[in-house]
Structure 1
Amino acid sequence: MHGVEGVADASAAVGGVSTAGSHLAVAPLQSTALTPPPFVPEYFLFPGWRIAVALVIVALSVGLSKYAVRLLGRPVARQFRRQSVAQTILRIVRLAIVLVGVGVGANVLGLELGDIVLSVTVFSAVLGIVLAPIVGSIINGVFVLSDQPFEIGDMIELDDGTKGFIDEITLSYTKIFTLDNTFLVMSNSNIRDRDVINYSAEDERTRLSLDVLVTYESDIDAARDLVERAARDCDAVVEGGPDIRIGSARYPAKPTAYINSYADNGVLLRLRYWALKPYKIGRIQSEVQTRLWTLVEESEATVEFAYPHTHLVFDETSGSLHVTGDEAANRRHATASPAPGAPVQSVSDGEGGEARSMRLIRPTRPTPRTRRTRSQRTPPRTDGERRTQSKLVASKTGKPELESESELEPNRSVRRRLSRRRGR
């Protein structure tokens, strides 16, 4: 038993069906792929030759898939006219050729196609929950390719301010080459849930705006002319020409300044102009503003930029304090000193008394007094104690000494009248 015949006889001996009594023993099924074709020489049948043949078939399928992509690249691109869709179709063709080669190699190893399909089905069912996000991203990739929100090479801006160019669109992710010289890879499910601005869709001309606030004393016509001329002097700005159509509306192509509103500090002008390319918007805006500053400085017209002014006014007054022997009375009579222009009123001390001039002042809010019980109240003073107290006050304040307590009554009445007038 040698060569091909030995292999066939051994396979027949193992795969036969034997019956012993009432028992039926069925051997495993044999694949016809295990038997090499008759034209294969005997010296090629070394141990593990099936594995080598399977690897060769897989390698040939990979090479054939690359050749098919090169061969079908141009026709597919002309047919669909979208680079992202053409790349997706070519990837599917390449994957299909490789899968066919893997299937043929598995058949050489003795694996039946039904077993492979059953194994893949069971494996997919087990990993279905784990692969759910990936499957969802692939479905979103199909919608991205069908909805055509952007294409490879378009400049977009995400809702967080990130700007970049679309570098690659697949069924699972989208790759963005940002302006910071970095790659941003986003899943299609994520990018479909975000707001995306496409600057390269159809017409690349992008409208920009600039707000300028000038004073009310400025020449508005001259200010508008300077603002428009600042935009026209930039090479990256559309100077004029036919109106630009957006939908059913048409807008002037030349830079135009409008009066937007009348603000608190001046007149707000709004300049609208069109940039030729959306790739360097920041530099274009800077050039327009720099040119406007130069024109305003060189112009002889009455045009000034407005800015808010703030004036702080302080009342330079010092405080005054009524000094007596009682601390509670001192706190009650603490007032602010009168302003320099406060009115002056003459007050008489009584009949035949000397007239004194006093300045009307605004008393401060009195501090709350604690209510004392009857036992805590001070007893009435005698005439001698009153004279002694008045002398003490006169010696501390430098005012003339009062002879009796009755001389204080006119001053008290005046203060009452003044307080009533203020209350009114």
Structure 2
Amino acid sequence: MRGILQDEPVNGVLPPTFPSLTEIALALAVLVAGWFLSKLAVRLAGRTVARRIERPSVTRTVLRGLKVAILSVSLVVAAATLGLSGGQILLQVTVISAVIAVVLAPLVGSLINGFFVLSDQPYEIGDMIEVTDEGHRGFVEDITIRYTKIFTLQNTFIVISNSEIQERDVINYSAEDERTRISVEFEITYESDLEGARRHAERAARSVDNVISGGPDIRIGSARYAAAPVCTISEYADDGIVLELFFWINHPYKQSITRSAVLTAIRERFLDTDVEFAYPHRHHVFDETSGIGQVAVDGPERPPEEENR
């Protein structure tokens, strides 16, 4: 029985003899050659794949898959060089896959969500997006089948797994058209010139860089919006009239700067007009139901004994 165990592989998995140094060196050479071959294949096929597949995220995924396929073939060839047969390799891959499926179940879920992100196309590399619940805003730097990398406007990187980003609300500011419509609110007094305030607010917005001053209407779905700034009455509040100014900007990543510039321009224009910003006022009215109030008159204070007389 001892002689039989020496002649046969253990459980049909391991070879009967340990690989020689020559076989080990040859296997390592195959792996190294496969590594360089995978990089060369990605470099040669990169432009062709990019021309046929217009989406950068899908292009990167295809090239990564090509690299993994070449490395897998190299690994199989190296295993065969060491004396492992196809059935033995398949058995080992099956055992390892079962272990990975149990241990890395969350990662598998993220990979599945990654395929949904690539197929649904909610955003693309280079798009400016915002994760609303976290307040993160920036540009998509990379999309893989495991995660999405965002380069924020604060010059930081955020990596979010695809399983998490699929469950969040994401705003894409540059999916098809980078032009973005934003608005600012301000309040003027009831005594101000209402029509003049609206007119000067629109002119102030048109004078700011990055604001679209006019042109053809901008279409969103079946609706059309005026490209030029438009100031409307929002509500009649307690302290004044609330106006809301809508305007379009060319680049979504300049929202804060443009909004501040528009508000500054509005204030400068109102300084030379019959328009005032409203602020809270309080009027105190006294009548016969208000009670009696004590009024102090300037003069020398009297001692309490004299006040009681």
Fold-level similarity (TM above 0.5) = yes
Q: For residues 172 and 317 of structure 1, what CA distance do their matches in structure 2 show? A: 74
Q: For residues 141 and 104 of structure 1, what CA distance do their matches in structure 2 show? A: 30
Distance 1:275 1:128, change over 3 A: same
Provide, for residues 197-240 of structure 1, a one-character-per-residue CA deviation record: whole Å limited to 9, x for no partner: 11111111000111121111111111111110110000110000
Q: For residues 20 and 162 of structure 2, what CA distance do their matches in structure 1 show? A: 48
CA displacement at 1:122 relative to structure 2: 1.6
Q: For residues 94 and 36 of structure 2, what CA distance do their matches in structure 1 show? A: 28
CA displacement at 1:124 relative to structure 2: 2.1
Provide, for residues 143-190 of structure 1, a one-character-per-residue CA deviation record: whole Å limited to 9, x for no partner: 000000000111111112111111111111111111111110110000
CA displacement at 1:267 relative to structure 2: 1.4
Provide, for residues 55-106 of structure 1, a one-character-per-residue CA deviation record: whole Å limited to 9, x for no partner: 0011111111111101111111111100000000000001100110111011
Q: 2:125 aligns with which of 152, 157, 175?
A: 152
CA displacement at 1:26 relative to structure 2: 9.2
Matched, 1:265 2:242: no
Structure 1 equivalent of residue 156 of structure 2? 182
Q: For residues 200 and 296 of structure 1, what CA distance do their matches in structure 2 show? A: 34
Q: For residues 198 and 254 of structure 2, what CA distance do their matches in structure 1 show? A: 25
Q: Name which structure has the greater RCO, CA cutoff 8 Å, separation 6+.
A: 2
Q: For residues 31 and 20 of structure 2, what CA distance do their matches in structure 1 show? A: 19
Matched, 1:278 2:290: no
Q: For residues 80 and 20 of structure 2, what CA distance do their matches in structure 1 show? A: 17
Structure 1 equivalent of residue 39 of structure 2? 66
Paired amino acid for 1:186:
I
Q: 2:208 aligns with which of 229, 234, 241?
A: 234
Distance 1:264 1:166, change over 3 A: same
The farther-off stretch of 49-58 and 121-130 is 121-130
Residue identity over aligned pairs, in percent, reads 53
Provide, for residues 360-414 of structure 1, a one-character-per-residue CA deviation record: whole Å limited to 9, x for no partner: xxxxxxxxxxxxxxxxxxxxxxxxxxxxxxxxxxxxx99xxxxxxxxxxxxxxxx
Please give the secondary structure, in 1, of the residue aligned with 2:248: strand
Matched, 1:27 2:32: no
CA displacement at 1:118 relative to structure 2: 1.0
Structure 2 equivalent of residue 96 of structure 1? 69
Q: 1:249 aligns with which of 217, 223, 240?
A: 223
Matched, 1:195 2:160: no
Please give the secondary structure, in 1, of the residue aligned with 2:140: strand
Runs of 4+ more than 3 Å apart: 311-318
Structure 2 equivalent of residue 223 of structure 1? 197
Q: For residues 259 and 47 of structure 1, what CA distance do their matches in structure 2 show? A: 86
Query: Which sections of structure 1, spanning at least 5 residues, go unmatched?
Result: 1-13, 18-24, 35-45, 319-338, 340-396, 399-424
Paired amino acid for 1:258:
T
CA displacement at 1:47 relative to structure 2: 5.1
Structure 2 equivalent of residue 84 of structure 1? 57
Structure 2 equivalent of residue 109 of structure 1? 82
Structure 1 equivalent of residue 25 of structure 2? 52
CA displacement at 1:29 relative to structure 2: 5.8
